Amino acid sequence: MERRRFFAEISNGYAWIRGEEAYHLSVVLRLKEGDMVELLTSEGIWIGQIVEVLKGEVKVSLLERKKVEALPFDVLLFQGVTKGKRIDWLVQKAAELGCKAFYPMVTRYTVVSEVGDEKLKRWRKISQEASKQCGRPDVMEVMEPISFEEAITLSQQIEGLKVAPCLRGSPIPLREVLLKERKNKVLFFIGPEGGFSPEEVASLISSGFKTVTLGPYILKSETASLMVLSTLLALWG
């Protein structure tokens, strides 16, 4: 039987499952003392055994630390916000593919001008659940919304490989860029519907970004994000 996974905190030699996770364990799944669980903690993934089910928290003994390694590089995805709930799906897939941080980005062609607190809260919940489901040792961070200009400024403070799929700017194949240069951090800038404006492409190039092509077809924004993450994981993972 597959062990259930829960987020937990380690304190005084035990793991503690609290809040919604504790409720799900004890009330929904009806797990009890003696049952085995898998724990996702800041100190890695552990196999544990439930010692005591208390009100609002569960005490678990730590039995064995699993050898699950994080990716040897960090992926930062700056995603142009698109319409509807397609970003929900992308947040889930980005977490499953090992993305370190997800930045909702507002660009010139972004139709959605504002990302509210409820939407941000939902994306963070999706990231947490996807990270738990796929068994990664950490959770993808969903950052506060950021403008294109702010994203460019932030990118200039980060040392890493900077890549932006574009239809303009004499792009070269993504695979060629990834095989030629490898760094500890990769920044992907993905435009919304309509891509990046000519001024934004010029800003990307002047800021040191490699403008790349993803093939002969025009892809939806979320498809482009999924493709760059999958290609990176296949070549570098």
Our measurement of the distance from residue 147's CA atom to the centroid of its chain's CA atoms, rounded to an integer in Å, reads 19
Which domains are assigned to the chain?
Answer: 4-65 (2.40.240.20), 74-236 (3.40.1280.10)
User: 8-66 pLDDT, tens per residue?
Assistant: 999 989 999 999 999 999 999 999 999 999 998 878 889 999 999 999 999 999 999 88
Three-state secondary structure of 127-168: HHHHHHHHCCCCCCEECCCEEHHHHHHHHCCCCCEEEEECCC
Q: What is the pLDDT of residues 181-227, one digit of tens each?
A: 999 999 999 999 889 999 999 999 999 999 999 998 889 999 999 99
Confidence (pTM): 0.85
**Rounded Cα distance, 86 and 170, in Å:** 29
